[in-house]
Amino acid sequence: MGSLKEVRSSIEEAYKKKLDRPRIIVGLGTCGMAAGGTKVMAAIETEVEKLGLDVDLDFTSCIGMCYAEPVVEMGLPGAASVVYGGVYPEDVAQLIESHMVNKTPVTDKAEIQISAGGATYEGIPVMEKSPYYEKQVRSVTSRLGRTNPERIEDYIATGGYAGLEKALTMEPQEIINQVKISGLRGRGGGGFPTGTKWQFVADAVGDKKYIVCNADEGDPGAFMDRSVLEGDPHAIMEGMMIAGYAIGANEGVIYCRAEYPLAIKRLNMAIAVAEEMGILGDNIMGTDFNFKLRIKAGAGAFVCGEETALLNSIEGKRGMPRVRPPFPAHKGLWQKPTCLNNVETFANIPFIVRNGGDWYASMGTEKSKGSKVFCLTGKINNTGLAEVPMGITLREVVFNIAGGIADGKKFKAVQSGGPSGGCLPAEQLDLPIDYDSLISGGAMMGSGGLVVMDEGTCMVDVAKFFLNFTQLESCGKCTPCREGTKRLLEILERICDGLGVPEDIDTLERLAKTIKTSALCALGQTAPNPVLTTLRYFRNEYEAHINEKRCPAGVCPELLTYAIVEDKCVGCGVCIKACPVGAITGEKKAAHTIDASKCVKCGACVPKCKFDAIVQA
């Protein structure tokens, strides 16, 4: 294929006509499918056929509102399209009859409306003004939920491959300079300046260079890379091709964990169709630039998110980190100079090349430019995917975008940066979200997971949970990580079991700091962060577990006791039937009692009592 401009105008025209047709679009990202989106699509197909409607059916990826899945968008010519949430097969007939036949949206199921120049409806929030999207900026996520990720035409019609087209007219150093001007820092967690890394690889001596995309997302509570891979696969490919042209590489590898089958499927489809169109392969767009791309499915080891362990895995070796230096920029894949960035970093590149580095640098803070995609999970009302400008505060994200704490409970902490991140308390809610501020608070940006915790969370138990994860995922190569995390976990388990001693707190701090400064790779160096931040902000909970043998949040089973309030108990006997070990006894219509020596502290009796007579202490 020659210039993309030769076919772009016809593709854009066809896309406009597509938007000017009656259409129903179902969200079929992994979250949508898990919530039942495939069954909803089948019900829609049946209903449309039954009514004989002239309607286009299509699917898209996750639009970000995971809390509202399954999501269905309905649009009529000349009017805003409406995104309905919580749509199940039994809702389909009513929605189609009202919206598509009678042209009247069902407001009680409508989440947002997307105008795109069409007339808007009363009583439905416009996307940009809705609580969930008002504080967001959407560039990396701009196509998620808006285009069909399996159609390259949708990608091209929305500006796709215009960045590559422009890049091929520029000098490679010009591109690197624009990336430097943008201030983009690696979105995988390290935060290293992307332009500087590209310059290292461009300047490195080698007869062969590689581009590698780290798509080995393994943090608990993180799914931003998966969402981008599923929703906009061409954007990552385009970013990698631009990087290849800039640093002099003609081959790239996407290392994607095998637990992301939909992402791998859509990437494979995108690679095949791009090769067919001459956008990927030899003599791209009629130039002398060649670039080949393949996918390596990873087996799902968390340590393979570390760049040198990832490179070992691609080479067929055990996924263990290498000692640095040399760094991958000089000796990476197959000992050749290698540029390794993560999914979100590459997805930003086409926008930076198209709009210029200054455009990107106009967003964010002085040292953290642009936007960042976060996964919002935990005890919040709105779980999902949000792209926000750097510098926004944790409070704005938790209480505006995420809709605050679920079930009317109080905020307690937010875990930023995945299992190696830190837990920040309420006093830190006004902390700006940027690389340096989060580190100053004891946490880190990480890849972008935010796990929100409420007042019912035990922070010692949280530290134990994350240490258990990192200890299991340690590759075992270096002693500080292999043995140190195990010892940390043993102490935390002892404290949660009521066997802690006062010296444990000092031991935890000393051991955690030693691991941070002596472990071989980032996994070990950051693994103690949950311990250090919970000690820093929630030391009183450790002291209560150790000195008072009490879990303030009422979570640690070994520190709980159950009792029956005599004045409230009516002697109905329901709790006796619920107790699996016969620890509760008593006569009918008389106050019951719990034998502490028999009670296994399962808590099964508590929700069964309609009189709130069973208390936990």
pLDDT at position 603 over 80: yes
Nearest CA among 356, 368, 524 for reference residue 436: 368
Q: Are strands 584-585 and 449-454 parallel, antiparallel or unpaired?
A: unpaired
Measured between alpha carbons, how far apart are the two ends of the chain, in Å? 72
Say which residues have a Cβ less than 8 Å from residue 570's Cβ, sequence separation at least 6. 589, 611, 613
Q: Is 144 a member of any domain? A: no
Instruction: Let me know whether 316 and 369 are in one domain.
Output: no
> Are 64 and 375 a contacting pair, CB within 8 Å?
no
- Asked whether the predicted pLDDT for residue 3 surpasses 70, the reply is no
**CATH code where residue 607 lies:** 3.30.70.20
Pairing of strands 614-616, 562-564: antiparallel
What's the mean pLDDT in 468-484? 95
Helix axes 343-355, 233-247, angle to 10 degrees: 70
Q: What is the pTM of this model?
A: 0.93
pLDDT at 443 over 90: no
DSSP 596: T
**Distance of CA 223 to CAs 31, 216, 265, 450, 468, Å?**
10, 11, 17, 11, 20
Domain end (from 362, 380, 402): 362
The pLDDT of residue 446 is 81
Residue 2: predicted pLDDT: 54
Q: What is the pLDDT at residue 586?
A: 93
- Rounded mean pLDDT of 28-56? 97
What CATH number does residue 235 fall under?
Answer: 3.40.50.11540
Instruction: Look at phi and psi of residue 183 and say left if phi exceeds 0, alpha if psi is from -120 to 50, else beta.
Output: left
Confidence band (pLDDT; 50, 70, 90) for 116? Answer: confident
Query: By the 8 A CB rule, do 457 and 555 touch?
Result: yes
Q: Is the pLDDT of residue 152 over 70?
A: yes
pLDDT at 1 over 60: no
Range in 68-77, 90-99, 549-558 the model is least confident about: 549-558
Same domain, residue pair 511 and 527: yes
Question: Quick one: what percent of the chain has pLDDT higher than 70?
Answer: 100
Pairing state of beta strands 251-257 and 210-215? parallel
CATH number at residue 409: 3.10.20.600
Identify the pLDDT of residue 331.
Answer: 97
193 phi/psi in degrees, rounded to 5: -60, 125
Segments forming the whole domain that contains residue 73: 18-129
Segment 171-196 shows an average pLDDT of 95
- Secondary structure element (H or E) that encloses residue 352, with its range: helix 343-355
Asked if residue 297 and residue 381 are part of one domain, the reply reads no
* Cβ within 8 Å of residue 597, ≥6 positions away: none
Q: 564, 573, 577: which is closest to 616 by C-alpha?
A: 564
Check whether 220 has a pLDDT greater than 90. no
Same domain? 601 vs 513: no
Average pLDDT over residues 279-292: 95
**pLDDT at residue 275 is higher than 60:** yes
Token output for 597: 């020596």
Beta strands in 181-334 (DSSP E): 210-215, 251-257, 292-298
Q: Do 442 and 486 belong together in one domain?
A: no
Q: Do residues 546 and 502 touch, judged by C-beta distance below 8 A?
A: yes
Report the alpha-carbon distance of residue 617 to residue 615 in Å, rounded. Answer: 7
- Within 417-481, strands assigned E span 422-425, 449-454
Number of domains, the chain: 5
Average pLDDT estimate for 83-105 = 97
pLDDT at 44: 98
Output 126 or 1, whichever has higher pLDDT: 126
Domain end call among 489, 515, 548: 548
